[in-house]
Structure 1
């Protein structure tokens, strides 16, 4: 990769030492940098200015974080809903819609895959353990995050399967109690846990969007499959950036 591409990471606002601070996960930053990207933090208190950020970036990484407020997919909160941040939700939903419209590749991680689904018209389980009517695995693991605790099955011939392999042998970590419920119309399921919980989604018609329910950023240093997700993200960013450059060049010549 000759050019370094700019990757936007939406920031979560946290109160630290009585001050509001914009924060991102350093492991996600490290994964982007390892594969030639330039990570840029996107403040999320002002959803109305997200278009300016999308114009500046080449790709969007949606990180983990708090629960998604159910008002964004037409539901009331259940008893076991966790912490939410409506400003963060509104900003990330706007970022997804703008990135899709402007053909900027997206990689969603944990909360990120949930935001992707909601932004494109899907719904979520607010709490797996109280809302699903059949046995559920431990999706909020007690083991350290760099350790995988349950396996997933990739959908045959999915784009995700091309990255991490076909079958049900991929071991992933797990740190969530929300999950994709009704899948958005623009997305396909790309992976499932053994209990049927959706673990991955992707674009139906191209490779613009990839989302996974686990945390590859906590595993990529020691797990080749998780590292491959970051490598593929940057490859997709380069591909779509090159396509845009060709399109812009042709448009200029025709003016």
Structure 2
């Protein structure tokens, strides 16, 4: 499905949401289904029309994605360790209902061969969806992720460089063999899912990006938050451009 605005066809990209209870002064407390504006704006700036997807039941994923040209899975809470066969050991603020729905979206996107851009929690979910595991708390052993402070003029979060595999089909095609990224996460990929490969790492070994080993499914999966870095708009541009090139359904 595509939408038509000003006589130009634009891909329709679905973005999942998180559910929070927020204080909307002066009206009180409200439950809200939303995603951070940065995800939406970056995707729109790349030329896509964005529709946000409130949480639903997993069985409806096929019908929900029937109108999508691509899917963005955003950051958020930790992934419930029961989905990768572990007991809690450092995971915080998990929500199995949200995980089940988002995992269903990922599986349905794969079934339909819909391009997916998975970010932070989305990256972790994509790995779990296909049989991978996570480090539940990267501050603990054996990881102890310590990326260091941001440099002057950079985003107000810890930043570090990453190394990208020279034969990476997706991340490497956009960023080359090195890039600077931010670090705003509590968990990370441990065992990479079968059928995927690690294509970017931090100096301390944190898995920063994975991608399918073979096939034509476009799964752009990163641990950092590119939506918070102006120079990483190019990832969204590249992703939406690849979506545009695909045959229209």
SS in 2 for 1:82: coil
Counterpart selection for 2:225 from 215, 226, 249? 215
Matches within 5 A, 1:114-153: 114-132=124-142, 136-138=145-147, 145=155, 149-153=159-163
Contact 2:113-2:217 within 8 A present in 1 as well: no
Q: Structure 1 stretch 18-27 or stretch 43-52: which is displaced more?
A: 43-52
Over 3 Å counting, the alpha-carbon distance change for 1:153 and 1:234 in structure 2 is same
The equivalent of 1:103 in structure 2 is 113
Q: 5+ residue gaps in structure 1?
A: 246-255
> Where is the strand percentage greater, Structure 1 or Structure 2?
2
Point out where structure 2 has 5 or more consecutive residues left out of the alignment: 1-6, 24-28
Look up the SS of the partner of 1:84 in the other structure: coil
Aligned to 2:206: 197
Aligned to 2:96: 86
Q: Distance in 2 between matches of 1:157 and 1:22?
A: 38
**Whole-angstrom distance in 2 between the partners of 1:131 and 1:36:** 42
Question: Against the structure 1 CA distance between its residues 58 and 116, is the aligned structure 2 distance closer, same or farther, given a 3 Å change threshold?
Answer: same
Secondary structure of 1:4's match? Answer: strand
**Residues 79-98 of structure 1: per-residue CA shift (max 9 Å, x gap):** x3211111210111000100
Query: Is the Cα contact below 8 Å between 2:147 and 2:158 reproduced in 1?
Result: no
1:227 equivalent to 2:233? Answer: yes
Displacement, 1:228? 1.4
Q: Given that residues 148 and 171 in structure 1 are in contact (C-alpha distance below 8 angstroms), is that contact kept between their aligned partners in structure 2? A: no
- Corresponding residue for 1:250? none
1:248: which partner in 2?
A: none
Where do residues 31-110 of structure 1 align in structure 2 (5 Å cutoff)? Answer: 31-78=42-89, 80-110=90-120
Q: Displacement, 1:237?
A: 1.4
Q: Judge conservation of contact 2:75–2:120 (CA < 8 Å) in 1.
A: yes
Give the match's secondary structure for 1:114.
helix
After superposition, the Cα gap between the structure-2 partners of 1:36 and 1:146, relative to the gap in structure 1 and judged at 3 Å, is: farther
- Call closer, same or farther: CA 1:127–1:141 in 2, change over 3 Å: farther
User: Structure 1's 148 and 172: CA in aligned 2 closer, same or farther, altered over 3 A?
Assistant: farther
Partner-residue secondary structure (3-state), 1:234 = helix
SS of 1:172's equivalent in the other structure is: strand
Identify the range of structure 1 (20-29 vs 134-143) with the bigger mean alpha-carbon deviation: 134-143
Cα deviation per residue 1:133-173 (whole Å; 9 max; x = unaligned)?
x653238989974666100000111021111112x3x1111
Residues 139 and 177 (structure 1 numbering): CA distance in 2 closer, same or farther, change over 3 Å?
farther
Offset of 1:52 from its aligned partner?
Answer: 1.2
> What secondary structure sits across from 1:3 in the alignment?
strand
1:5 aligns to 2:15 (yes or no): no
TM-score scaled to structure 1, two decimals?
0.86
Matches within 5 A, 1:159-178: 159=169, 160-166=171-177, 168=178, 170-178=179-187
